[in-house]
Structure formats: structure tokens, C-alpha cells
Structure 1
């Protein structure tokens, strides 16, 4: 039911089904076993899901690099299969390195996830060194098949401008969010690994993978806690679906594969808007894969839920007790970046430059603000005053985005880029943004008196609305003390 502008999610989900289906089919055609087909399908799914560079060329380079990091990790996992203490230590090292790699943006994030999942796949399939050649061939088959779909058969990105990719916050040492998260994720996975093995010596890795994925695309304590809650919720509903559907099927190939395809579609279609629904699809797919392997039982699904709870608990303890990054500080930083994007769009309008790149960046930043504010606007949040302020901030920022989109259309239609009245109105908006970002500098800025928008300049209507929304933002953003951050 969530909006899908340009059918972006629909196209991504359909292409994922095609790419993963091509990978599994190719694996069978070249003679891989069922475990090999699973490796090929998961490799294809990860390549399509995690590679998010700006531009097709950069995406192709990252896809080529996936097996470069995945192959040695897979070899390490199989080599340590019979040495539990060394295997566990290596797994935690992969966790830390994978999270730390996010400091290098989209490519580092994709390579870190693929390395982690390569180690996980070895545990899932209980792979040993003798299976490495077949697993390598299956991984290569899956990546080639998915790349043929993504960059050949259905490369819709070539007809669109490159996507905007947000770089992670900077800093040095423990001031960098990715460094803190690397420490947090490693400790969370260490807790999940130890507690998970107390629950089950065979399926402990589900606790580790839960703790790991909770940290993906989060940057604060509140985000991580909400992600953990939603993961457990999605897992519970997915297990119910497994009991109702996967267990009775008992691995029947044709209906099971059809439902796996539906789960792949659900993962990609839901991921941008609902983590709970995505986890429902992931958990359902895992149950179906266990059915294909012939090991699915109701007890196994209950064990999966228990291990998920252990992993979520590990993540919650880590973000609460170890180098916590507060929701308030993270939200402040993303709101600042959003306001900078509003100012940049206004400057572009005043100088007759295209606004579309600024609108794309603004939409992406607004999505990040919604993610960071999710803990405050969550229905279970007891902080009513902060919830009300957060909702007000989101409403006003959404209003800013609507005004910027309207401004882009008005400027393009009326070609009013160099109009003196328009330029003066843009300057007033810049001053309003400056008052929010740096009040002391805004006090010294030139004063531009506000006035009613002229009827013959539709662009001024949007600039006037934008200025009003920015003035209203001052109250909720300054209702509580905010940390001093560099603009």
C-alpha cells in the first residue's frame, strides 16, 4: 500500500525474481547440486540487494569485486569447520571488518555484507573444504546470471540519472559512526554467538546473522532498537507462515520454488518501506529452503525464533551499553543535511540551474530523517512530547520538499530564473535556512522583508510557502537542547 513513485520498487522486485531465478536455473543446468543452487541463488540475491553505487559502471565494478572478498572468506569458513574456537574468532573478525568497511560508502557496505554472508552460507550448508570448488562455481554462476539480468536484459538505470548515494558521517577514531558500529556489532555478535550456542550447537548462526542485519543501515541507538523489534515481529509472522505453508509442503519442488520466488519479490518490494514485512519474506523463504533440504520441522522454526530473540537481545545490549550513538545527535545531523539540501535547491532556482539533482538528494535525505526519527514516532514510544515534536518536524520537512518540487516545475515552466523578485525571494529562504543552521551568522545576514507572493510569478508562491515552513521549524527544532554539531 506504500507509494511507489515511478514503480521503482516494483521494477526492482521483478528484476530480482528474474535474476535469482536465472541464477538457480543456470546452476541446475550446469549440474550443480541443491546446496550449489542455493549458494548461486543467494549470491545473486545479495548482488542485486546490496550493490547500490551511483551509476551503472560503479555497480558493475562492485559486482565484480564481490567474489574477490567472498571467496577467501568462504574458504576460511570451511577450513575452520572442525575448529570451533578458531571458526568463532574468524566469524567475529569478519563481522568487525564488514561493518568498518561501511566508512567507504556504498561499495564498502556491499562488500562487507557479502563477506559476512559468505561465512554464514558455509555455516548454513555445513560446508567442508572438499566442497569449495563446487561452491565457488555456484557462486560464480549466480553472480554471472544476476549480472546478465541487471546490466544486460533489464538495465533500467541506463535510462535514468545516476542515483544519489549518501556518504556516511565522517570523523576520526571513535567519533566516526562506522567505527563505533564496528565495535558494537562485533560485541553484539559475540554475545549472540555465545548465547546462541547455548541454545543450539547446530543452528547458533541464526543468532549471529540476526545481530548483524539489525546493524545494517542504522546509525543510532534508537534506530537499532526499533530494527530489532521489527526483526522479531517479522520473524514471528514468518514462522507462522512456515508452520501453515512450508511444513505441509515438506519440500515439494514446484510449489516450494514458486513460493521462494514470491518471497524474493517480497524482500525487494518491502525493503525500502517496511523492515517487518521484509523479515516476514526472509523468514518464510528460509523455512522453504529448509524444506527443500529436507530438515524442516516445527521445532526448527521455534528454534529459529529463539535464536532471533537472542541476536536481537545482543544488539540491544551493545547499542545501549557500548559507545552509544544517541537518536538525538544522529537526527540533528541528518536534519542539518536536509536543510542544506533545501538551501542548495533554492540557490539553484535563483540562478536558473536544474533542480532535479537537488530534489533527488532531498528525497533521499528525508528518507534518512524518517528512519532516524522512527524510534520517536513509534506507537510504543512513551515520550509523548518528543513524539509530537518529531511528527511536527517530519510534517514541516515534507512540506519543504513539496514546495521545492513545485518550485522546480514553476521555474521550468515560466523561465523566471533571473527575475529580480525571484532572486530576492530565494535570498529570504536562504536566510531562513541559515537561522536554523547557524543562528549567530543569520543575525548578521542581510534582512529581506517578507511579502505576499506576486500573482504573476507562481514560483514565488512556493518560495513563500517554503519560507513559512522554515520559520515554523524553528520552534520544534529548538524546543529541547541540541548538541553542537559542525554545520
Structure 2
């Protein structure tokens, strides 16, 4: 994605803009508080990282949940920080502990946004000790910096600059087909991430005994917010692209600065803004700003040189290769399997929306299709991530790419029609129209044929009876239901046409 498109992309309510500006303020104040407390530069870097993670990874759907997760971050991070510093001079034990943190951090994602945030924070605390070569004598300073920075960031987020939403965001959809053991997506991904990081650790140390942790960090972050082999491979590719761009910028900007405080701090603030602003839109551009930020930090620490940036590229390639091998050979979750599950989930939402609408139109005040529509939109957002590998410009699977596009167009139209139906379903004057009930039943039947085409057709639909008196609300609802039927009919070709199994090849 071009940078111009990223910065002119729609930003309803300027939420991204305000969140990015708040991050710059929160992280800046956190670092200033650590410095004002008389702590050394390494502690200031650790505190800044803690504040960045608190503002970036804590994503509970409610403000109260975000506050609780933020308060729990020290409980997840400080013990790991202490363990990492204690094992700094014992490489074998340190490496084993690091991989254990990787596994537990990814497995914690089964607990939703809170588990994800705590797992990331714990991993990054271990990573930070390698970045700073922290020894046990520095532990009190690092812990104090983390606590002070988290308190400052929380004060900005929950007190000084609140970003309220007019409507609560829909809950993030849980991964489909969750189960126990390796059947649970988080557990499978934990094994994959541990294997990828083990490869990255071993090869990364062969490349450099000093900066091997970059490879491990690359492998770890590639697995964040991915669920299938295709998603992970695409993210690895985008990470390498973003890193190459960031290294080029580092050579042109960070190296000539030689760590000059004033311009470096200004550029660090710009990078923080760029990370937060581009993260929802482009992983490559986010990585560009992350890489440039790392180069500027090394400049402040007085160790930046062109060879160091070249080494970062090598370690990034090692980490990306480790992730690619892990998702290919360790409990692989194919793009087809993940996409198929999300499509089924979306169709289930459409069917439930039609059923709730039918009940509401029949006069049941407890029926409400609105939550189903919100769930449908959240599922479609996750489906877009799942089909991204098929729609990637470099994908050679042209037939599957075309089918994936057809599926997304039809499901997006389903969501649009469902939103319109929900708006008029509560109209009491539109109720008691037998045509609407019959149309809802036809939508449910159409979904059933897509999900299970081998099943017998449902019993005949009830006759509409006498011609109802036309009403604008009823006519609009009927139009939306007919639109849903048309969209579901259009899905039959890409999902069932020439396929061996339902939904195959999507």
C-alpha cells in the first residue's frame, strides 16, 4: 500500500489520528518521567517500550477491561524481566526459558484480547533484556521504569486523553472450530511459534552472537494476528519489505544523525505516530516505522553503524524463514481450512439475522437482529484477513483469486442488505406481512443449501395468504430480503460450482 493511500485512508471520527497522537503523548511523558526519576538511558528505553506496548496491545472492548488488562501487565512482565536478567550469563538456560515464554505467550491468546496483550508484554520484556544486555544489577532500575511508564501511560489513556466511542465496537469473533489440545487454534499456533523461534534462535546465533534476538522477535511478531499458513507467509513477506524500507531510511536518516538528541527525539516521536497510524492499514508501513525507530534508538545508545542495519536485515530474513517453515510443517492450518470456517461463520450470521428478523416482524419484541449484523461485519473483517493471501498480487492461483473476490463481493452485499433489513424490521406497521416471513424462510433455506447442499430441501413455505396492504416499511424490508436471496444465489457458483466439497476452493 502506498504511503499516500495510508495517510488519506478514511478515518471515521479521526479515531486513528487521535489514538496516534495520544500514543506520542503517552510514550513521551512516560520516558520523560523515567528520565526525571534519575534512571539511566537503558531504563528509559525499557519504560518507553512498556508504555508503547500498553497503548498498542491492550484492546479489550470496554474501557474497564482495558484498565484491568493494563493493571495486569506488570504481573505478566516483571517476573519474566527478572528471569531474563538472572539467566543473562547462562545461554542454554536463557534460550530454553525464552522458548517457554514464546509458547506460553502465544497459548495465552485462547483467553482473548487480554491473553494476547499479556503474552506480548511478557515476550517483549524478555526481548528487551537481550536488546539492552541487561544484567541482574540493573533489574531494580528496569522494574521501576516499567512501573512508572505504565502508570504514566495509563494516566494519559484513562484520564488525560480519553478516546470515547459513540457506539461500542462489536466483540472480536472467536476463532472457529476451537477445541481442546492441538485442536485449539491458539495451542496449534503456540507450537508453531515455538518451533519458528527455536529455528530463529539457533540460526540467528550462528549469524551473530550479539544480535540473534532480532530473528526471534521477527518470528514471534509474524504470528501475531494470523491464523493460517497463507496469512503467516504473507505477513512474513510484508515484514521483510517493511524492514528493507526502514533500513534504507535508517542509512539516510539515522546514521548521519549520530544520535544527536534533539532531531533524534523528534524523529522517534514521528515514528511512534507512524506505527500507530499505519498499523490498522498496512503491516509493511508499520514495520518501516518500527525499523527506523530501532535504528534511531541504537543511534541514541551510540552503537549505530551501517553494518548493524545490514545485520538486522539478515536476522529478519532468518526469522521470516523460520516462521515459513513452522507454518508449513508444524501442525499446519491451511488457508482453505481457515477461510472455509470463516465463510461458514458468516453464512451462519446471515441465517440468524434472517431468523431474528422474522421473529421481530412477527411481533416478538425480544428478537433483535442487530447483534447478528454486528457479528457478521466482525466476521467479514476476519475473513478479509484470511483471504488476503489469495488476493495478494503475487498469488499465482488465479482461479482461486477470482472465486475469493466473488465470495467477498457477495458477502459484503449480504452485510449491506442485512443492515438495511435490521433498520426496518422493528417497524410495528411493517409487521404481520406474510410475504416478509416467507422471504426470511427462503433466506434461511438458501443458506442451508450453501452450507449443506446434500441435505433435503425444507418443507414447502407457507402460502402468503391474502394480499397485504402495501406499507413503505414492509416494502423496504422485502427489498432487502430479496437482495439477500440474490446475494446468496450468487454465492452458489464460487462456493459450490465444480467443487468436490461444500465451500471448497474459496
How far 1:280 sits from its partner (Å)?
A: 0.9
Helix, strand or coil at the partner of 2:396: coil
2 CA distance for matches of 1:217 and 1:478? 29
Q: Which of 385, 391, 398 is matched with 2:405 structurally?
A: 391
How far 1:415 sits from its partner (Å)?
A: 6.3
8 Å Cα contact 1:328/1:482 also seen in 2 = no
Single out whichever of 372-381 and 455-464 deviates more from structure 2. 455-464
Q: Give yes or no for the alignment of 1:347 onto 2:355.
A: yes
> Which residue of structure 2 aligns with residue 178 of structure 1?
186
8 Å Cα contact 1:51/1:59 also seen in 2 = yes
State which structure, 1 or 2, has the greater radius of gyration over its C-alpha atoms. Answer: 2
2 CA distance for matches of 1:76 and 1:181? 24
Q: Give yes or no for the alignment of 1:311 onto 2:340.
A: no
Q: Give yes or no for the alignment of 1:364 onto 2:381.
A: no
Q: Which of 13, 36, 50 is matched with 2:20 structurally?
A: 13
1 CA distance for matches of 2:307 and 2:166? 49
> Which residue of structure 2 aligns with residue 430 of structure 1?
444
Cα distance, 1:157–1:290 mapped onto 2, change above 3 Å: same
Cα distance, 1:398–1:198 mapped onto 2, change above 3 Å: same
2 CA distance for matches of 1:379 and 1:455? 48
Q: Which of 17, 33, 38 is matched with 1:31 structurally?
A: 38
Where in structure 2 are there 5+ consecutive unaligned residues? 361-366
Cα distance, 1:159–1:180 mapped onto 2, change above 3 Å: same
8 Å Cα contact 1:223/1:374 also seen in 2 = yes
Q: Give yes or no for the alignment of 1:481 onto 2:484.
A: no
2 CA distance for matches of 1:272 and 1:125? 29
Q: Give yes or no for the alignment of 1:256 onto 2:264.
A: yes
How far 1:384 sits from its partner (Å)?
A: 0.9
> Which residue of structure 1 aligns with residue 60 of structure 2?
53
2 CA distance for matches of 1:92 and 1:42? 21
Deviations 1:43-83 (A, max 9, x none): 11111111112212122111111110100100010001101
How far 1:265 sits from its partner (Å)?
A: 1.6
Cα distance, 1:120–1:354 mapped onto 2, change above 3 Å: same
1 CA distance for matches of 2:23 and 2:431? 42
8 Å Cα contact 2:108/2:115 also seen in 1 = yes
How far 1:338 sits from its partner (Å)?
A: 1.4
Q: Which of 222, 226, 232 is matched with 1:218 structurally?
A: 226
> Which residue of structure 2 aligns with residue 191 of structure 1?
199
Single out whichever of 347-356 and 40-49 deviates more from structure 2. 347-356
How far 1:246 sits from its partner (Å)?
A: 1.1
Cα distance, 1:341–1:269 mapped onto 2, change above 3 Å: farther
TM-score, normalization by structure 1: 0.93
> Which residue of structure 2 aligns with residue 468 of structure 1?
486
Matched ranges for 1:52-91 at <5 A: 52-91=59-98
Cα distance, 1:135–1:483 mapped onto 2, change above 3 Å: farther
Q: Which of 430, 451, 458 is matched with 2:476 structurally?
A: 458
How far 1:445 sits from its partner (Å)?
A: 4.8
1 CA distance for matches of 2:359 and 2:34? 55
Q: Give yes or no for the alignment of 1:381 onto 2:400.
A: no
How far 1:442 sits from its partner (Å)?
A: 6.3
2 CA distance for matches of 1:31 and 1:401? 55
How far 1:483 sits from its partner (Å)?
A: 7.3
RMSD between aligned residues: 2.3
1 CA distance for matches of 2:226 and 2:115? 15
How far 1:295 sits from its partner (Å)?
A: 1.0
Where in structure 1 are there 5+ consecutive unaligned residues? none
2 CA distance for matches of 1:417 and 1:31? 70
How far 1:446 sits from its partner (Å)?
A: 4.3
2 CA distance for matches of 1:417 and 1:110? 46
How far 1:412 sits from its partner (Å)?
A: 6.1
Helix, strand or coil at the partner of 1:3: coil
Q: Which of 147, 151, 161 is matched with 1:154 structurally?
A: 161
Cα distance, 1:346–1:159 mapped onto 2, change above 3 Å: same
8 Å Cα contact 1:342/1:362 also seen in 2 = yes
1 CA distance for matches of 2:500 and 2:277? 39
Cα distance, 1:483–1:137 mapped onto 2, change above 3 Å: farther
2 CA distance for matches of 1:423 and 1:200? 68
8 Å Cα contact 1:431/1:442 also seen in 2 = no
How far 1:418 sits from its partner (Å)?
A: 5.5
8 Å Cα contact 1:350/1:418 also seen in 2 = no
How far 1:455 sits from its partner (Å)?
A: 8.2
How far 1:482 sits from its partner (Å)?
A: 4.1
Cα distance, 1:252–1:448 mapped onto 2, change above 3 Å: farther
Deviations 1:384-406 (A, max 9, x none): 11111111111111111222233
